[in-house]
Structure 1
Amino acid sequence: MRDHHQLDELDRAIIERLRVDGRESSRSLATALGTNKTTVAHRIRLLEEHRVMRVVAVRDLFAFGHQVLAFAMIRVADAPITEVALRVAALPDAIGVTVRTGGYDVMASLLARDLAHLGELTSTVLPRIDGVAEVHGELVTEVVKYDSHWALLSGPPPGDLPDPAEPGSRDDLDLAILRRLNVDARRSNRGIAAELGTSEATVRARIRRMQEDRAIRIQAISDVRAFGIGANAVVGIQTADGRTDEAVARLAAVPEVSMLTRTFGRQDLIAMVLGPDAGAVARVVLATIADHPTVRRVETFSSWGSLKNGYAWTRLR
């Protein structure tokens, strides 16, 4: 789409409505937007074909029995950084992996069953990967903001769903439905049911239950580059004594901050900043974050490449 078609008002309006309800019918969209069903269906098909938009079932980080989210900051030695990052990305517990510049070479988002499992990942599993020289962990104590609207759709897929951490939290049918929704969440319940050998009513009920439990939300994800977002950085933030709550409230309202977490480790907060280019990101980091009395120190890690895309995850509860 970026190379063949400029997004117009109708494209943007379709995407905006599908962010709210990814399964809104083409007929309903057409009525709301003053056009016809055929035009809407054609636009959606083009947006998907050119990787400008996907409709997926976004999963809540903690709805499948996992209790711990952490960031693993990895230094690499005696091996190509990208190869090491690919080895880390092969771990099912790593839901997002990027190569970054700064004090560390690779950053991985880890979703663990509990603290013992996280300890195993950071002290045993990751250090045994060839090329991993050092692992520093930042434990997430609160997910303040986790914008699920954006992704690098031209990049790698989001990866499969880690196994449920607690027996009975989600069964095999739930997971099978989710895997198909992550390929195309607008496909019919009838088609999913036929593929899984169950009834349409069962699929409909399972999806409705997961939505009501706020385990998933079916919505549109937009490609960052198609919308002029060409750079991002992870920012580790050490706050001034006693002013963390104030910093959180202020940073959560900054539109360029797409993710904000409280962390336990060397950083008090970790944020993701998006911008049209590296200069714009740097200006936000310096002028909006670093140059404020609630912040004592920042450490910036710019993105060089994504090896595993975590866009199918968010915080819904």
Structure 2
Amino acid sequence: MSDVYEAELVVDSREFAADGVLALTLRHPLGEPLPAWEPGAHVDVVLGPGLERQYSLCGDPADRTRWRIAVLREPDGRGGSAHVHEQVGQGAKVRVRGPRNHFRLEPSPRYLFIAGGIGITPILPMLAAAEAAGAEWTLLYGGRTRGSMAFTEELGPYGERVEISPQDESGLLDLASVLDDVPDGTLVYCCGPGPLLDAVEERCPSGVLHVERFQAKDQPVGEDGEFEVELAQSGLTLTVAPGVSLLDTVRAAGVEVLYSCTEGTCGTCETDVLDGTPDHRDSVLTKEEQESGETMMICVSRCRGKRLVLDL
């Protein structure tokens, strides 16, 4: 855990990338280089006690002097986006941790990218990477209105490979037109609101599709009974009570664990499983990763059975 980068960075610039979308560039106050990252990565931004949010990096991975994030103001949100829009001005310092990546761009000769709203942020550097690799690709990008869709000017040079489809002009994204006949060897990357991701998942094989969710996916309700967890590094054996999370149980025993969203969407609390079968309830791991049982998100996932052994 100690090798995770964490620092106070300075807001170098802030500008609106679309209606309600604020783009911030962050730099180290002493000009030190920031950690390297790959398309699909996100960082945790600590805005205050109990106020920590995850934002995708949407700048240039080759630029180690600054990171760029974009924050959609959500009037009905939990306060994080409003805080950024109202309280984080140019020159302000914010504590940032990361980056981490559960949405990596795998090598492929062809890509289909689908973005909805602020979901364009992790996709943007993927387009540049696909272009640099000489891959074939197209982007279907939807939003409520054209004015609400961020970074459309940056997409302009890509020409006809980008289809911008505001809902008030052309309705919901025509997923059938792009997903019902995907050429062999094509990887599909999708990020956006839950209903869009659900619709894409219904049409696309899991081995082809890669998604990132900003909100937790609806999960079947599993058993919520008591189980035992052994922490191999700490030498502790704990009882996880019904209705109490594994994360809270571990922390209450004094074991330090990195965590952030507590909703199973950010991947911060991912922990290696040494024995036992996890009851996965996260929205991060793929179906194949969940079936392997090698890691689990301890903020939401539990145990299928009576005992787990974790590398903590």
* Structure having the larger proportion of residues in helix: 1
Q: Is the shorter-chain TM-score for this pair beyond 0.5, marking a shared fold?
A: no
The structure showing larger relative contact order (alpha-carbon pairs under 8 Å, at least 6 residues apart) is 1
TM-score, normalisation: structure 2: 0.32
